[in-house]
Structure 1
Amino acid sequence: MLDQCCISSLPNNFANLSNLRHLSLLYSQKLKRLPVSFKNLKLLEHLNLGWCSELTLTVEDLNFLENITRLNFLNLSGCKQLEELPRHITHQASLTELYFSETSIRELPDNIGQLSMLRELDFSETSIRELPDSIGQLSKLRELKINVLSSSLPTSLGDLSSLMNLSIQSCPKLERLPDSIADLSYLRNLLIEDCPQLKCLPDSIGQLSKLTELKIENLLFSSLPTSLGDLSSLMNLSIQSCPKLERLPDSIADLSYLRNLLIEDCPQLKCLPDSIGQLSKLRELKINVLSSSLPTSLGDLSSLMNLSIQSCPKLERLPDSIADLSYLRNLLIEDCPQLKCLPKSIMQLNNLQELTISNCPIGELDFGKASLPFGLSNLRKIFLQATEMSRISFSEDCCPYLESLDLFNNHQLEEIEALPITLKSINLENSEMLKKIPSFAGLTSQ
């Protein structure tokens, strides 16, 4: 391998290595040309020219590939001057991996389906106009990353019978996905991102019975299809930066294997459906909503370990049922400008290890006042930043294992009463109104 080397050219006699099978020049950013003698590397199986940014590479420069019959890996990604693939590329009967993202290529060969052994194909961040119908003939293809300028994708996409990972990114004119996407019976991961004209997902998406991960980002959907609940194997659902999304379907409750639900930067999402409490295997939930409260059913998430509540401009209260999240380890509440207090039941979260509250107008926190014996008994870290609290106190039995207390930027904090003796770290920076703190006698030294 010659990865990241600083040479500007290879010697002409380099191709005397007639038995060479593996050549990688990845990130050789000073390399400017390939020797003509490359045509003698007839036994080459692996060629990586990825991100050789100074390489003057034209379709004529790749004619040497016509003499190579065993090539199984070809990476041309980042060769920005490359405008087309050689026509004979489809004669590479052994090719299993082909990458040419971040190039200037605009067309795929019409007969790309002849690459019968191809398993991975990546042409993201190119200007490909459209996918040829023959792409459906790539029966062994497992991973496909695309961006195209067309308004639709070919129906033959559904013929990719081995496809497991599909990424559709930065398609500025794409208006619809083919219903045939339902025929991708082995699809595990689906990413749809930056497609501003795509207004909805097809109802047929619910037929992807083996899909385990669905990520939707930077789309203009106002809703998701009810058939989403039919994704019986889905474990990870991520919805990010969808500014028009207003609601989630009640059928989300049918995602019985869902482990992670991340909803972020969706400023028009009105509320969570009550049915969300039926997600009994959910371990991580990250949400932002417009409602003033969260459903009581939130407490039914019996497996939840990580809960993030962020950027909820109208949220005024958390449900008392939050105490029922008996496996909760991490709780983060951030940028909720109407949230002025926490429910007393929060003290019953005895498996909680980390509590973060930031940019919320919480007025007072009393750790232990209404708690059970040994409340928050596993809490290790507390981050209370940019709140409006004036007082904080700990009862003798509360937080018996607390190690870190961060009170950064609490400008109205005037009083700290008692502190757990287990503390190893405390931050009072920018708490300039603080007038009363307890004696530090008895705190363990480090």
Structure 2
Amino acid sequence: MRSLIIARRTRVLAPSRLGLRIIEAHGCHLIHVISEASGDLVWLRWFDIGQTNIQSIIPLKKLRVLELCENWRQADHRLLELWVDDCDAPLQLRELIISYCKEFRRFPNSIGRLKQLRKIVLDSTKHLESLPEEFCQLQSLEHLELNSCDGLSSLPNSMGNLRKLRHLSLLGCKKLGRLPDSCKELRLLQHLSLSSCPNVTFMSDIMENMSNLEYLSLTCCYQLEELPRHITNQVSLRELHLEHMWNLREIPVKIDQLNKLQKLCVGGDLLTSLPASLGDLSSLTALEITNSTSMECLPDSLGRLSLLERLEIDDLGVKSLPESISQLTNLESLWICRCPISELDLGVGSFSSSLSKLKTIELSDNDLLSKICISKDCCAGLETLTVEKNRNLTEIKELPSSVRNLVITRCPKLSALPSFAELTSLREFEKIGCYQVKKIEGLNHCRELEALKAYTWWEMPNIESLEYMERLRVLHLTGMRKSVVEGCIQSMEKWPGEIKVSTRAVRNAASLVNSLAIPTLSVVDSCSNVQTERKQGPKLVFEQPTNGNAIIVCFVVRTPGGAQMIGVSGDSFSTLSSYAKVEEGAWVWIGLFTQRSKWYTSNAYEARFSGENGMVEKGLVAMVEEDRVTEVLRRLLGVMEI
């Protein structure tokens, strides 16, 4: 046997006889398996190690890959160091990965003897403050990640000796200060991330010799007032992140020299404009401009970005889009958030026939946005439109017939929608918190509709029948009038795969349970067979339905503290989820589960009421044939009233 994966409860007898070379172990109780393994062990991944060091535990002589990960919930037995005696150093080690060992404090001085070590990853430590100078003797090191090392304040002065280093990530090292000047000698470096290092600084010409750099992130480097002097000489650079740079005042005019740059993310409170040369980034496919409230306009040169596919602007002072955007013939995604734009009109003037490849538009939290018009002539390929939390939006005037997904939420002043008669491709429609919309014209023409979601009667006032929606698979009609919901249910020849309905009151809790004249799998009275937990409340446990059947779950809960939530583990499994107040201190919950749901991953589910000190007064778990589901739904609705 050459490899072995050991779970927490696995017992392995006489491990030294197995001749193991590869072990993946879970749990600190497996020390005997690892320590007794033969000296041929070359690869070890150990989770929940529970040891202060690994010396004399792990046969290190031939080890090439060592991965250690602690259980961050465990308070004791924290890994403090790797090995103490230099003679025990694993000289053949090529990869060293240490994750979530929060008490790890230092690398041994003998780390420099590991001449074959190519990759080091250290993630999420608190007490590592520095690296030994011997660390820079790792002549074969190509990949170094020191991420979320909260205590790391400095790097060795001889970092430049790591001549083969290609990947350097110092993500989230909050105390890290000035980088050593010798870092300019890392000539082979391709990936450099200093994201979320708020105190980091470096010499202005640190990138003078980094001609191979392909990825650079300085996001959240708050101390930087200007970019490195030679950043525009990085002709191999493909991705550049400059978001949340509070003290950055300008982007270099010569940024157009980065002719291989494909993604640019930029943003800072002091940025007032972008250089016109930005439009000459001939390879750029993604542009994100964020958190620059002083920037009131975008350069007209953006229209020259002929390969641009995604444009995102967030929290800018921009009041309108430049007309040159109509020249972005390859644009596929447009995202506008938290900008004082008053109108989005993609249908007149220069926008009359241009953005044919645009597939996704998202408009969120634009407080001054009052009107949206997206014509089919301009955006003939639009598939998804998301409009969220635009509190002064009053009208959506026109939409192209190609729209497949339409989500409109929390727009309280919206009162006018275009006719849905031409939205023949619509697959999903969701409308929440748009109470001024009194009628939706032409909804019955949306015969391809697969998901319909509305959360109060005012959201969908003119729904009376669903008989024309043959493809409907998801139906959420929460808070609807009884007559509306009853009409919807009765009109369905084939009920959807997922239904969620609820009413505001139940006339008689006992009759609701007793009215289900169907064979029961188990009946609960006065908490019999119900597991009650003080914090999470009582629950019913049931298995998934067999083929051709559905499961009905129904119970009444009485709690003096009032109801907080009633739900099901894995809520996506629920095809009908309804709860309503019966009387003061009493609530009823109904659930319907079916094999048609494609998300089934286990055989047991539970319905849980999360009110404290709750008592299940009456309940049942029953099985019903799928062809009787509509009948059962009608029967349940029969005891509900407003």
Following superposition, the deviation at residue 385 of structure 1 comes to 2.5
Q: Is it true that 1:38 corresponds to 2:35 in the alignment? A: yes
Distance 1:35 1:323, change over 3 A: same
Look up the match of 2:131.
131
Q: Tell me, yes or no, if structure 1 residue 375 matches structure 2 residue 378.
A: yes
Distance 2:155 2:276 in 1: 36
Partners of 1:375 and 1:180 lie apart in 2 by 54
CA-CA distance at 1:229 after TM superposition: 1.0
* Residue pair 2:401, 2:425 contacting (<8 A) in 1 also: no
What is the aligned counterpart of 2:169 among 155, 167, 170? 167
Corresponding residue of 1:140:
140
1:58 aligns with 2:47: no
Residues 128 and 350 of structure 1: is their aligned pair in 2 closer, same or farther, counting only changes over 3 Å? Answer: same
Which protein is richer in strand relative to its size? Answer: 2
The structure whose Rg is larger is: 2
Q: In angstroms, what is the RMSD of aligned CA positions? A: 2.7
In 2, are the aligned partners of 1:125 and 1:170 still within 8 Å (CA)? no
Cα deviation digits, residues 143-181 of structure 1 (max 9, x gap) = 111248564322321122221211113434432112322
Match of 1:277 in 2: 279
The one-letter code of the counterpart of 1:414 is S
Out of 286, 297, 301, the residue aligned to residue 305 of structure 2 is 301
CA contact (8 A) 2:386 2:406 kept: yes
The alpha-carbon deviation at position 279 of structure 1 amounts to 1.0
Deviations along 1:388-431, one digit per CA (max 9) or x if unpaired, are 2322333xxx7242223333222222223444342424334322
Residues 310, 332 of structure 2: 8 Å contact kept: yes
* Aligned pairs for 1:423-438 within 5 A: 423-424=425-426, 425-435=428-438, 437-438=440-441
| In structure 2, C-alpha distance between the alignment counterparts of 1:350 and 1:113, rounded to whole Å | 58
Q: Does 1:353 align with 2:359?
A: yes
Structure 1 residue 241: Cα displacement: 3.7
Taking a change above 3 Å as real, the CA distance of residues 365 and 170 of structure 1, as seen in their structure-2 partners, is: closer
Name the SS for the 1:245 alignment partner: coil
* Correspondent of 1:69 among 41, 61, 71: 61
Aligned positions of 1:170-181 closer than 5 A: 170-181=172-183
- Relative to structure 1, the CA distance from residue 273 to residue 444 in structure 2 (aligned partners, 3 Å threshold; closer, same or farther) is same
Local SS of the residue matching 1:251 = helix
- Which residue is 1:402 aligned to? 403
CA 4–22 in structure 1, closer or farther in 2 if over 3 Å, else same = closer
- Residue 90 of structure 1 deviates from its aligned partner by 6.4
User: Are the equivalent residues in 2 in contact too, given 1:145–1:168 (CA < 8 A)?
Assistant: yes
Give the TM-score normalised by the residue count of structure 2. 0.61
User: Equivalent residues in 2 for 1:227-246 (5 A)?
Assistant: 227-246=230-249
Question: How has the CA–CA distance of structure 1 residues 34 and 323 changed in structure 2, closer, same or farther, with 3 Å as cutoff?
Answer: same
1:112 Cα deviation after fit: 1.7
Count of residue pairs brought into register by the alignment = 426
CA apart distance, 1:339: 1.2
Q: For 1:73 and 1:350, how far apart are their aligned partners in 2?
A: 51
Are the counterparts in 2 of residues 33 and 57 from structure 1 also a CA contact under 8 Å?
no
CA deviation after TM superposition for structure 1 residue 301, in Å: 1.0
Residues 139, 163 of structure 2: 8 Å contact kept: yes
Q: Which residue of 2 aligns with 1:114?
A: 113
- What are the within-5 Å matches in structure 2 for residues 88-107 of structure 1? 88=86, 91-103=89-101, 104-107=103-106
**How far 1:365 moved relative to its partner?**
2.5
Q: Distance in 1 between matches of 2:105 and 2:448?
A: 65
Structure 1 counterpart SS, 2:159: helix
Deviations 1:96-155 (A, max 9, x none): 011223322322222322100001112233322322222222121111112485643223
Deviation sequence 1:4-47 (CA, Å, 0-9, x none) = 71238x66732333x2111111xx24x33612982562111112
Q: Which residue is 1:391 aligned to?
A: 395
Q: Distance in 1 between matches of 2:208 and 2:383?
A: 42
* Residue of structure 2 equivalent to 1:362: 369
CA distance in 2, matches of 1:98, 1:37: 17
1:335 and 1:46, CA in 2 relative to 1: closer, same or farther beyond 3 A? same
Q: Is the 8 A contact 2:395 2:414 kept in 1?
A: yes
Deviation at 1:83, TM superposition (A): 1.4
Query: Unpaired runs of 5+ in structure 1?
Result: none
Secondary structure of the residue that 2:402 maps to in structure 1?
coil
